[in-house]
Chains A and B, each alone.
Chain A
Amino acid sequence: MSRDKTNQKSIRSMIQENKSSRSQSAVMEKVVPKIFLICAIISIFTTIGIVFTLLTETFTFFNRISIVEFFTNTRWFPFTSDENADFGIIALIMGTLTVTAIAMVVAIPIGLAAAIYLSEYASAKTRKVIKPILEVLAGIPTIVYGFFALTFVTPLLDKIIPGGISIFNALSPGIVVGIMIIPMIASLSEDAMNAVPNSMREGALALGATRFEVAMKVVLPAALSGVIASFVLGISRAIGETMIVTIAGGSRPTADINVTESIQTMTAYIVQVSQGDTGYGTTIYYSIYAVGMTLFVFTLIMNLLAQFISRKFREEY
C-alpha cells in the first residue's frame, strides 16, 4: 500500500521533472544554433579583419609614399634616412616572381609526371606505398625546407654551377619551394585524373592506344581543368611561401633577374622588418602592410583563378 503511494508520487514527480527538462531543452534548441552561428560568423570576421587591417595601414602608408612611386619605382631601399628611402614594390615582386618561376619549373613537370604515373601506370599496391610518402613530404615544416636549402642545396649548386653561387640566391630557395609544392600538384592532379571514368581509358585501349597515348590524349585533356587549377594553386603557394626564401634567399631586393645572386621576396621583407627593431608608426612599419596587401591580392587572384578554372572548364562525364 505504502509502496504504491511512493510509486505514484515518483511518477508525478517524474512527469514534473520531464516537463521542466523539456522546457529546458526547448531553450537549448533555440540557443544552440545561435552559438554555432556565432562560430561561423567568426570566420567571416577573420576575412573582414584581414582586409580591414591591411587596407587601413596601407592607406596610412600611401599618405606618406605616393602610390605611383610604390608601383613604378624599381628600387626597394627602406632602411635609410627618410629622404633617401626608396619604396618601389617592383623589386620585391620581381624577387617573388623569380623564386615562383623557378619553383614551378621544378614542380610542374615532376608533379605532373608523378600524378600521371600514380593514376595511369602504378598498381594499387605501389600507390599505397608512394602516396603516404608524398603526404610526409607535404607535412614537413617549411623551416626544415629552409634549413635544407641553405645547408645542402646551396653548397651543392655552388659546386655544380661554374663560377659558383653566392650563399644567398634565388635558385636554391626556388628549387626547394618547387620540391615543397610537388606533393600538392601531384595529389591534386591525380585526383583530377582519377575522376576521369575508366570506360574512356578502356575505349582508347581497345582502339589500340598505348598507355602513354591514353594518358596524354584521353585522360590529360579530360582532366585538364583540375590539372591547371593545381598549377595555379601551386603558384599561389609559392608566392606566399615565407621561411624558405627568408633563410636561403637573402635580403637584397632587386628588380634585376640574376638567379645566382641574393634577392628578397615580399614575404622575406615582412619577416626582416618584424625581426628588426622598427618602431611602431614609422614608415617602414606601415610598409609591411602595403607589401602584405600586395601579397594578399596576388594570392587571392590566384586562388580565385584556380576556382574559376576548375568550375568553368570542368568536363562532366
Chain B
Amino acid sequence: MPLINKESVKKRMGTRLAANGVAKFLFILATCFSLLVLGVLIYRILSEGLPYLSLDFITNFASRMPERAGIWAALLGTIWVMAVTAPVSFILGVGTAIYLEEYAKKNAFTKFVQINISNLAGVPSIVFGLLGLTIFVRLLGLGSSVLAGGLTMSLLILPVIVVASQEAIRTVPREIREASFGMGATKWQTIRRIVFPAALPGILTGTILALSRAVGETAPLLVLGALAYVAFVPENIFSQFTVLPIQLYNWTSRPQEEFHMIAASGIIILLIILLIMNSIAVLIRNKFHKRF
C-alpha cells in the first residue's frame, strides 16, 4: 500500500493552486480599481472642463453668468495665502525639526513634543479652522484676512514639514558632523554650514508637498470666513480673500449645470498647479539628493 495517495494530493494541490490563481486575479482587480477610478475622474474633469478653459477664464473675476466667470481673484488669493504660509511654516517646521534632532535631550519633554506632533497630524483640518476662527480672526482681531488664513494653514501643515525635515536631517551621517567638529566648528556652525545644506533637498521636497496639500485644502478657510464670492484681488495681508478650492466649492454647490462645467475648468487649473508643485518636489529629490 502506498504511503501517499497521489490522487488526493493531486486533487488538493489543484484546488490550492486554483485558489491562488483566483486570489491573485482578485488582488490585481482591486489594484486596477484605483487606477480605473483615477482614469475616470481625470477623463470626466477634462471632458467637462476643457470647453470652458480659456485665457479669459483665468483673468476674469467671478461672475453670476457662467460664460463670463473666471478664477482671477481665487488664483491670486491662493498665491497670497501661500505667500504667508510658506515662510511661516518653513521657519517653524525646520526650527522644530532642528531642535528635536540636534539640540533636544532625550527626556520626557522631547518625547511629549514628538507625540504631540504626530497627534496634531491626525487632527481633522476643519478643527484647525475652528482654532483659526477663535484665535486669529476673533482673539487677535485679524478678521477673515489673508494673514489669518495663512497662519491657520501654517499650523495645519506644520506637522508634515516637521516630520519630513526630521527625516531629512537624520539622513545626514554622523561622520561629516564629526569632521566639522574636528575642524573646530561650533555646534551652530556645523548645523548651519554642514547639516542644513545637506538636508535641504529633503526639507524642500517635504515643504513643497505640504504646501501642495495646503493649496487644495478648503474646509479650514471656509470656517475662517473666507469669502465665496469675490470680485477683487487682495491688496495686502489684511485684505479679505477667497482661494481656488473655495471658489470651486461655490460653483459645485450651485444647481446649474453650467457652473459645474466651470468648476471642472477650475479643477483643471488646480490640478495643474498641484502637478507643477509635485514635479518640482520630485525634481529636487532626484537632482539634489545625495547618498552618503
A-B contact pairs, 12 of them (CB 8 A): A28-B186, A39-B95, A40-B99, A114-B27, A130-B35, A141-B274, A143-B267, A236-B122, A240-B127, A243-B249, A247-B249, A270-B223
Given A43-B113, A47-B119, A146-B252, does the pair A36, B34 have CB atoms closer than 8 Å?
no
**Nearest residue in A to B225 (C-beta to C-beta)?**
A274
Report chain B residues within 8 Å CB of A139.
212-213, 216, 274, 278
Q: How many angstroms from the CA of A154 to the CA of B41 in the assembled complex?
A: 14
**Nearest residue in B to A303 (C-beta to C-beta)?**
B122
Given A240-B124, A280-B138, does the pair A141, B188 have CB atoms closer than 8 Å?
no
Given A113-B31, A130-B35, A210-B16, does the pair A274, B222 have CB atoms closer than 8 Å?
yes
Most buried by B among A148, A300, A304: A148
Report chain B residues within 8 Å CB of A116.
27
B206 at the interface (CB under 8 A from A): no
Interface pair A211/B24, CB less than 8 Å apart: yes
B218 at the interface (CB under 8 A from A): yes
A292 at the interface (CB under 8 A from B): yes
B60 at the interface (CB under 8 A from A): no
Q: How many angstroms from the CA of A118 to the CA of B28 in the assembled complex?
A: 9
Interface pair A242/B24, CB less than 8 Å apart: no
User: Size range of the interface on B?
Assistant: 35 or more
Most buried by B among A122, A140, A212: A212
**Minimum Cβ distance to chain B for residue A5 (Å):** 29
**Nearest residue in A to B250 (C-beta to C-beta)?**
A275
Report chain B residues within 8 Å CB of A122.
31
Report chain B residues within 8 Å CB of A113.
26-27, 29-31
Query: How many A-B contacts at CB < 8 Å in the complex?
Result: 246
Interface pair A147/B264, CB less than 8 Å apart: yes
Report chain B residues within 8 Å CB of A38.
95
B40 at the interface (CB under 8 A from A): yes
Q: How many angstroms from the CA of A208 to the CA of B249 in the assembled complex?
A: 55
Selected interface stretch from B154-162, B173-181, B234-242: B154-162
Q: How many angstroms from the CA of A49 to the CA of B156 in the assembled complex?
A: 13
Q: How many angstroms from the CA of A186 to the CA of B225 in the assembled complex?
A: 35
Interface pair B270/A141, CB less than 8 Å apart: yes
Q: Beyond A151-B260, A179-B34, A212-B24, list 12 extra A-B contacts (CB 8 Å).
A: A32-B188, A36-B98, A39-B95, A43-B92, A130-B31, A141-B274, A142-B218, A147-B252, A151-B264, A186-B34, A212-B23, A288-B223
**Minimum Cβ distance to chain A for residue B213 (Å):** 8
